[in-house]
Structure 1
């Protein structure tokens, strides 16, 4: 009778609090936070250094070596792995990994390289290209002093997608050795400086602009990149300028003839160009490279 009366009057007993064995009210556990299986950047940095040192172990205690440069290749199939490698390799600070980390480790292991040896980094998204040493997603290629460079006379750059002012542009070692790539002839940059482009993707306001052939031009930054001939290394190199970097909301890539992809996204680093390469600007416009 009493329980029925309580129910009619809306007076119900409170739900009992679930208790643990020690009579302490149970507190619901917070949802589990997924933990990445990737190591921290310092641990990955140490792994990379160990890989390079182990690869160069035959050169320990040698008074001289024929190595003129090292190229570290890293396969990063996911954005998380790529970000980890960028932090571990200090890609935002050119030469810091070489000067602050690698030089010291080489000295500690009595591996002597020439004073002007070079170190470059290439992050690739799918698979490692052929290289001298491999370990997991790491690869190391050696540039040797006795390797005779392939003589080159010129590089011809032409548009595959997008409309440029000229059908083709030529870089010759004995002529103009640097060509600036961008949209517009003399665009004003955010800094106020006026840039004079050599490989010019036409603006929509240009009288010669064609909306069909030039539909990809908008993806090209006004200061996107440059191609330079290096007389020391006897080759052509692509550099991303500020407007062609991810920090500016843009991107630059090299598509090799073997279907590998090189992301050109480290400020101040020159990426070697090969005959048959294609340079993608902003994910849409594309230049072809012919080296002879």
Structure 2
């Protein structure tokens, strides 16, 4: 959690201008974790505000409620400074709520939270594809894994079953046992995961806590232009296309493959 007010906790509350600067700083800190490739995946920046009635007017003033595009322009300047290459149709959404949703990015001292919403690509044929992950480099429990559209999250990491700091267990559906190959020790137990995006009808790759800096690395090499991108945030998912390669800690490579499955109807997954 960010705290922009450590030096000012004993001082008077911020005015609208100071509040705007604090909210923009929260957005800046969040966007700064993305590289250009991740920026292209961003669909919307969602800001949630849970200020009480006595503070609501100040938040509305800070966020230019009467001119919402004005606040978006300030955010766009931040993105441009980091060369994030946000898509032209990205949205800045401000929501006033009674309670902040779970999982938002928060900052100490302000009653607001942030969600970075990523975009996906619609399938062009209307035929949902099955996905396969083939182990090109490294030693996993299997040489190839099959993933069905609409399936639950598939975790990737070292060892099949690992225990987190909170005592709960994580099951890695794609596991790289340490005893199988010495270099597997560089892969995090909680490295990355795949999810089926129902709205966008595609598979997406997310880095987990162990797969982002300063820990182990997660990269993706796009088949379309052979560009290489490092995942710096757990918030943004990459849409996977046929032939893309997932690189784990520079010691394991998985190739993502799609095959058309005409027995699957796209509408069944979207309803």
Q: TM-score range by the shorter chain?
A: 0.5 to 0.7
Within 5 A, what are the aligned runs for 1:114-133? none
Q: Which of these residues, 67, 71, 74, is aligned with residue 108 of structure 1?
A: 67
- TM (norm. structure 2) is 0.54
Count of matched residue positions in the alignment of Structure 1 and Structure 2: 177
Consecutive unaligned residues in structure 2, runs of 5 or more: 1-20, 35-41, 49-62, 71-78, 91-118, 260-271
**Would you say the 8 A contact 2:158–2:189 is kept in 1?**
yes
Please report how far the alpha carbon of residue 229 of structure 1 lies from its aligned counterpart in structure 2 after TM superposition. 0.7
Please report how far the alpha carbon of residue 224 of structure 1 lies from its aligned counterpart in structure 2 after TM superposition. 0.7
| Correspondence for 2:135 | 159
Which has more radius of gyration?
1
Q: RCO (CA 8 Å, sep 6+): is it higher in 1 or 2? A: 2
User: What SS does the aligned partner of 1:195 have?
Assistant: strand
Q: 1:216 to 1:291 in 2, by over 3 A?
A: farther
Q: Which of these residues, 191, 196, 209, is aligned with residue 171 of structure 2?
A: 196
Distance 1:189 1:290 in 2: 31
Q: 1:107 to 1:140 in 2, by over 3 A?
A: farther
* Residue 114 of structure 2 corresponds to residue 168 of structure 1: no
Distance 1:106 1:148 in 2: 33
**Would you say the 8 A contact 1:227–1:238 is kept in 2?**
yes
Distance 2:210 2:82 in 1: 33
Cα distance per residue 1:237-256 (max 9 Å; x no partner): 11111111214x21111111
Distance 2:137 2:182 in 1: 9
| Correspondence for 2:242 | 275
| Correspondence for 1:219 | 186
Please report how far the alpha carbon of residue 164 of structure 1 lies from its aligned counterpart in structure 2 after TM superposition. 0.9
Q: Which of these residues, 63, 80, 89, is aligned with residue 31 of structure 2?
A: 89
* Residue 181 of structure 2 corresponds to residue 181 of structure 1: no
| Correspondence for 1:251 | 217
**Would you say the 8 A contact 1:160–1:288 is kept in 2?**
yes
| Correspondence for 1:139 | 85
User: What SS does the aligned partner of 2:185 have?
Assistant: helix
Please report how far the alpha carbon of residue 148 of structure 1 lies from its aligned counterpart in structure 2 after TM superposition. 5.3
Q: 1:98 to 1:89 in 2, by over 3 A?
A: farther
**Would you say the 8 A contact 1:90–1:96 is kept in 2?**
no
Distance 2:145 2:65 in 1: 42
Distance 2:138 2:64 in 1: 46
Q: 1:91 to 1:138 in 2, by over 3 A?
A: closer
Please report how far the alpha carbon of residue 198 of structure 1 lies from its aligned counterpart in structure 2 after TM superposition. 0.2
| Correspondence for 2:202 | 235
| Correspondence for 1:149 | 123
Please report how far the alpha carbon of residue 263 of structure 1 lies from its aligned counterpart in structure 2 after TM superposition. 1.9
Give the structure with the higher percent strand: 2
Please report how far the alpha carbon of residue 269 of structure 1 lies from its aligned counterpart in structure 2 after TM superposition. 2.2
